Structure 1
């Protein structure tokens, strides 16, 4: 495997986790975001992750977690971020036009050797490949939130992805402690979100329609299936911004109404999930 230098675009909830897990696994990591303010928030996330890894992840003690956080280079200069990258993992907002514009910039700035991977949770890589300048070196690499616990990495290429690139990214996923899930052809939502998104949307439709409160819906799911968490707790863990972006960009008017309900009742009130201390539930 030739991947040693990894750049993660976006230091939000999941982007910061991907960068931290990669650095914790011994890779040279650069984290990029568009403003200094965003980078400061990213640094704060890395420090919080170090505390999590120190207590919850094997080998995270004896200063290793703190060393991983300190080793991540942060920058708002995209050209510097990708100049020597072997792999760029894109974790920018879940809006197709933003991702396409990002890849147009990357195509000009990154070396031809660089592999591009999108962490998009619902968008197909084929919708972005023509903007990358290297469709044979582009694919999807999708992580689940709380990466240190839920350590799947879904790998999905397009019809143009070089099989050698595909397998190199599978090997990289293994090297950073993930369980690679190889997806043989494009599927919106991959495996995880093909199962998860209908559950979350159904739960929100029940609450938005006034049929039951989020607590009762979660309780029903947990008792009825034995699951450790209900859909609204899962939404709080994910953070409500990403689900909102997915809902708001749907062509289905009923789905867009769920986006409006989420925005009016939670997002506009600063209730974004665990990261802000309150979403559907309150957190200390």
Structure 2
């Protein structure tokens, strides 16, 4: 067992629930699907300066809306948070039925930033949330000692052709860009971006699929177990590892190279 793991009570007390969404779009040049990546401001306590997928903490208002919609409460709240955070951070509308164009999305984002809640935005624009458009992909819940611990559910979503505008939320992020999973990993190898341990493992997993459809089929067929990384000794070196059987082709790396957020 990892020596710096928290006891169960402290672990639970420090945990906040969060949601992250991997947004796909087709590459108009015919290459592998591209993913939306977000470079976080360096001043942030969690993953400052790192490049991640859009997402954030589940808010109380997300839980209120989840209770109204039904379903498993934590899962539904996470899907709502993923939709809300995506609109807040990027200006993209995902997971809804209704009329959307660039101007409407911009107005909806403005309203969301003012109210902080997704429910009044849905009502104002006549939108219906479609939670099943977000595909469950993974759940990461680290147990190491840290000021903030996030129990994060990862989802996949598709934008199709991706003919959309994105705008950075300058309060938390400083850059948005599209790249295939392999391209993002290459940027990290070249030290052009910084990626934390979960992001690297997820990019390695996603790099095996050229389209949203193939990634979705893999996600549907793969169990979503809770991933709590742990440390083990391998050939005299300490490695940060994740469990087997959850769809990841690379399960770890040396502790000295792993960025943990």
Q: Shorter-chain TM-score: what band?
A: under 0.3
TM-score, normalising length from structure 2?
0.25
Going by fraction, where is helix more abundant, 1 or 2? 1
Going by fraction, where is strand more abundant, 1 or 2? 2
Greater relative contact order (CA < 8 Å, ≥ 6 in sequence): 2
